[in-house]
Structure 1
């Protein structure tokens, strides 16, 4: 998505148009496919329902024929007729049997003929087709079950398509022949009723319908050659009633196969997919026409968009690239963009902006010129000022001369004070921003000596610091302002006292340098004021600038909670604590 956003508007619009052009055929194709599947499924359902009716009809016929054959074959009159050897009695029985057979045939209009043959070669046939029964007897088994015996095409005597059923008849009742085979009964069933049912469904126009048994084709409503039937039969490999789309001789067919267990056969239906899709072809043509119309409709707003949006933006981008290239002279030129209302607003506002930039550029040039001149004047003034200053090295040399004179004259106090002052001066002009803790403590000691020279025997000085911490790097000049405050504001006002400096590690892990005196202390109101100043990091108070400066330097360099803490009580002295990171101690110990 981020990559797409980075593309130009022209490319995005083009990709969007191509997406529409690509997605519509896919949608049309998918709709066509779903419609095809729906139509094929509907045809499959329709054929399944039809074949179910036919299977029911065949099953009913088989059940009726079987029941009738059982009733006729084991009727007492028929049993007597089959075993009767007396011709006169046989003739009388044959009349009764023929009447019985006529009644049975009249009860089932699909029956064309019923044939009964006895073991003594007595025969009765309602239509005179005893030859069928004789042929069927030759292939009959030794059971008394009704069997489907095959299909017979039309002949000259019975010009109908026929289904043949046969059954052996065994002696029953209380006779000496009980259980022996005494005859055979055959029934010829007309196919016309089934053909009539098939022709009553006009929606099957174009559908090839085949009924076959285990010996071959029984019925077909198609003029397709036999090799087509064999291909249909070969490809109908799905489950009972399942539809399979296969290509036969270059044409696609929806093929279904249904099992007919009563005649050991099956029904196969094959419908050309093209016939089912005729209506969909119209939909397909309309869809492609709609696609062409959509492309035409999309191209018009695309052209308008290109003209009213992209062209003005392209001109604006060229203008901006010229500015980016350093052609500031075009700031005097106006960019004229014609298009949508928003584009024209952008054009006006952009022109106003370039005019403003032009004016500001002129003002900036004038301001820079004035600043340059001012800076030159400032540099001249600073140079003159520096020329008027005393060279720090000259001052240091002068102090060394005073030290020499003090030694010659035997004045030890002047010598020590001058030495301490010289040390502080050299330390202050040293260029380094960081010094060791030992150096910082020496400067604090020099400050104490100067005050001891001013007030002999008034102040004492004590220092407690682990020897191994003297090499810890700390910011320069952080102790001298604190010591000077303690001496000048705490002890000098009292006239005497003790100054104590301790270096230790706090419970919080911080390096703490404490400067403590037993001087006059600080009144509560003033202490509160100083504490607020330290918390606010404000050095513009005009008082205790050194204390605030040290606090700010520590906090800026090391961050919270580093800085200065102030503890005091009026009449009980003051304690100033400088807090530095404890990591300084860890680093020093790691170097050992």
Structure 2
């Protein structure tokens, strides 16, 4: 190294200087280099941190936007599920029926399930012109909100609202209110009609439970009406931040609003009238730059060794196990699981071991589900085959109804032409029985079932010379109640065959109905020969163990079929009971649920 000396015009080497000058020169150069490196490093670090902080702000904003949008979509899914709930539609259609308590209990369980599944749900309310069921709204407020969306079919948002009720159990905070009209879909009389409105209130402070935020971040949620609430950060500070944001319109950097104290970012929530306002304190960001500059020299010295060590640990504890798992998955995807001999076993960090265990559990569960799916598919296929076979047998057993109707009508006309009214009456009763059997619904009013019983008894009286005396005691309030078709005829036939066959088919048959203990009681009693105690005990035992596959005695097949039909349709608490005494007669009581004709029609 050479230096030019101006006094003598000569050139001096660096080695010609004294050690003191050399040291000073080296010190100056080092200082200049340090200053240059520090300035350059500070500039690039500053720029990098600005970019990183901008990216971080955008990332936090985006994640918050996604989280809230996801929660809103969940609310939309819940709303779509609730508004088609049959219990809710029945409640709104008949809010003061005898089943109102049942509807309310069913809906309350479902609402509690949705509230437990989504903690942000604060209340689920229902409002119609007749009822208001809500913990948050009085009837006036609910009706005002309902009227605002009276003709809408989509989910609507009312933005941020405060609770109008002044009760201690509900905080006086802002809530997000969604609403959607409920239209009839199952009842033809109310199909497409507006039955009511469903309201769902959300707690704003529960919308971001799964995202971690730093203490210097503030997140506000605002609607298009100027209402806002603080999702993260102090509420009082949030008020000041919103006012500062509202007045900050000039300075910006990459879509970020910048004030003296905060950096703002705004995100609109998809398909809603809400926007997120995210604020970051600038002082904390700038402190990070200073700290980074002071630690820069130490980091440079230690970073190489630390980076090498971390790389080794990462490669050994993460990269190698993941490569092993990927290889195992390739083998698994290309061959059946049962053909793989070795089980996957990974060593590494805790997450890798947890992933390994979860992966093995998933494989085991997949194997179980595959077996269950196979068994279910086989069972379903067998069931469909049985159903098709039953339908085929049923079709083969059918005779053209019109042919039989015309034949019976012809017999009746011939009987009237030849002045044989008994044959005409019997043919008319038989035709009535046949039409009742093959046409109409499976549930009929009790009075219609009794008319068929009367037709059947007319045939029996014609056969046996009117030796049977029939006594009816049917209360008026039971005549319109719904019962299963052909429920009484097998019981009456059993009474005639087994009660009067040994007495010349003569006797008294008593048929009565009344309501007791929330049940419809139908009594069929005869004064026939009755049963011995041993016969009665045997029938009681068979009734208690009655199943579709259990064999029933041929001489009482009708009784067992009726008992099984009742229990299959309504449950074990219903059915028939038998009382009998030898040479005194038999009393059979049918216990049925009280089913109104209107409810059955709906």
Coarse TM-score class (shorter-chain normalised)? 0.3 to 0.5
TM-score normalised by L of structure 2: 0.40
User: What TM-score do you get using the length of structure 1 for normalisation?
Assistant: 0.40
